[in-house]
Amino acid sequence: MEDEKMWVLTEDHVRQLGISMTYKGYYYLICAVVFTVNTGYRKADLYKEVYADIARNNNVSVECVEKCIRRCIEKSWDADKQKYSGLFGNNRRRPTNGEVIAFISSCIRLESK
């Protein structure tokens, strides 16, 4: 799948979760999903590989990337827990960054087949 189409699909999924474009984490989350889909990467070593690559490309720290992604997911979760419980099961906890990235990546992979 070409990168532009993948980027658009990823943005659509991120917006469906109610994540606002006003957060830096929005862009970082999209980058993480696109990286994950392109490389076939799995949840393991998310911090060392995916976040490190995004951090290098944006001249920020790995911690900043992780925190920004977490923050935008938290805000979206706080705004509409019901939406997340429908997608991630009836858990009473916020999904982790890795869970959200893996979920969106899986959706993109399924749609691209």
Whether pLDDT at 86 is above 70: yes
Q: How far apart are CA 1 and CA 17, in angstroms?
A: 23
CA–CA separation, 11 and 34 (whole Å): 10
82-92 average pLDDT score: 75
76/48: higher pLDDT: 76
Which tens digit of pLDDT belongs to each residue from 7-46?
999 999 999 999 999 999 999 999 999 988 888 766 657 7
Q: How far apart are CA 89 and CA 53, in angstroms?
A: 30
Distance CA 24, CA 38 (A): 21
Task: Give me the mean pLDDT over the 63-83 stretch.
Answer: 92
Contact between residue 105 and residue 33 where contact means Cβ atoms under 8 Å apart: yes
Query: Measuring CA to CA, how many Å separate 62 from each of 13, 43, 55?
Result: 24, 16, 5
Question: If you average pLDDT over every residue of the chain, what do you get?
Answer: 88
Q: Is the pLDDT of residue 65 over 90?
A: yes
pLDDT at 62: 95
pTM of the model: 0.90
Average pLDDT of 76-82?
87
Q: Which of 35-49, 57-71, 93-107 has the lowest mean pLDDT?
A: 35-49
User: From CA 30, how far away is CA 105, in angstroms rounded?
Assistant: 10
Task: Name all domains of the chain by residue range, CATH numbers in brackets.
Answer: 3-112 (1.10.10.10)
Q: Where are the alpha helices (DSSP H) in the chain?
A: 3-16, 24-39, 52-58, 62-79, 81-88, 97-112
